[in-house]
Amino acid sequence: MNQAIDHEWGIVASHSFAFKTLFNSASNKIIKFNYAISLAKNKSYEGNIAAKEAIRDVSTEKAMAEML
């Protein structure tokens, strides 16, 4: 019985760690996304590239979160 409980808590802990890691990664992507938007507002070439990369990164994080 205790092994089953330990196993379940292990699953919960691993999912919690995965979610925390994903959340931190997503937070960093959002910071980069906001920075990219501010660059894009200046209508710079670098801003447009950064905005496209940030949108792609945020979309990837969203897809990963949906898999959890």
Domain boundaries, given as residue ranges, for the chain = 2-67
Q: Which pLDDT value is given to residue 66?
A: 65
pTM: 0.35
Low-confidence ranges of the chain (pLDDT < 50): none
Q: Which pLDDT value is given to residue 25?
A: 74
Quick check: 50 and 35 in contact, CB under 8 A?
A: yes
Q: Which pLDDT value is given to residue 32?
A: 75
Q: Which pLDDT value is given to residue 54?
A: 74
Q: Which pLDDT value is given to residue 28?
A: 74
* Cα angle 45, 56, 31; round to 5: 75
